[in-house]
Amino acid sequence: MSLASNINQLINTHVDYNRVGKIVKVKPLLSQLSESERVGGSSTTSERPIPANVNAIALMQNIYDETIKHQYAMTGNYDGSLWEILAEWVTIKDSEWQAFLDHVTLDWIDDIKRTIDPPRPRRPLMQPCSSCGNKYTPGEDGKRIPAVTAWVWDNSGEHVAKPDSWEVRCDSCGAQWIGKEVVKAYWRALR
């Protein structure tokens, strides 16, 4: 990719692949992110979810803040909207800034895609790791989470794949089993 291509995806309607690999026209990623801000999250309790996607709101604010910071570092001012500033970046001639902003915008693209279309979660297995014996590992918030998880989805993430393409991983010790190894070690847990 290039800076111009990245910015095109962020601010213009462009061509992309959908989940099944078909080429389609899609809205600018910043528009998609803005629209996803208004979509409520899913509730993990019996309470109603909040009517907004806080991850999308936080990401949009982060992108805006970074844009202003980089624009000010380059030019000494930051006049204009997010879209106007990004459109200006296409015309940057300094190769160092181009390379830097190419990486920044590519990270934004990845972050936006993960936010508007999050990947399917790994399936937790409630049995100890056959390598280290640990059943749980500490999560980000200090709570115990299953150490052994499985990826059972096909490439699109839509359907369960055949067992010989499954992958099991232990987050406690890093051990990993793929395909037929999974069937031998964890077939009971995956049924």
Answer yes or no: is pLDDT of 90 > 90: yes
Print the domain residue range for 167. 123-190
Residue 163 is predicted with a pLDDT of: 75
Domain shared by 153 and 168, yes or no:
yes
Domain shared by 96 and 74, yes or no:
yes
User: Average pLDDT, stretch 78-86?
Assistant: 91
Domain shared by 110 and 50, yes or no:
yes
Question: Percentage of the chain with pLDDT > 90?
Answer: 45
Answer yes or no: is pLDDT of 47 > 80: no
Answer yes or no: is pLDDT of 183 > 80: no
pLDDT band, residue 59 (cuts 50/70/90): very high
Task: Find the range with the poorest average confidence among 71-75, 94-98, 147-151.
Answer: 147-151
Rounded Cα distance, 165 and 168, in Å: 10
48-72 burial: b if 16+ Cβ within 10 Å, else e: eeeeebebbbebbeebeeebeebbe
User: Average pLDDT, stretch 3-32?
Assistant: 90
Rounded Cα distance, 163 and 146, in Å: 21
Domain shared by 146 and 166, yes or no:
yes
Q: How many structural domains compose the chain? A: 2
Question: Percentage of the chain with pLDDT > 70?
Answer: 86
**Residue at which a domain ends, from 62, 88, 116:** 116
**Residue at which a domain ends, from 89, 116, 143:** 116
Q: Is the pTM higher than 0.85?
A: no
Domain shared by 105 and 67, yes or no:
yes
Domain shared by 96 and 130, yes or no:
no
**Residue at which a domain ends, from 116, 136, 152:** 116
Domain shared by 99 and 44, yes or no:
yes
User: Average pLDDT, stretch 127-145?
Assistant: 87
Domain shared by 127 and 176, yes or no:
yes
Rounded Cα distance, 138 and 144, in Å: 5
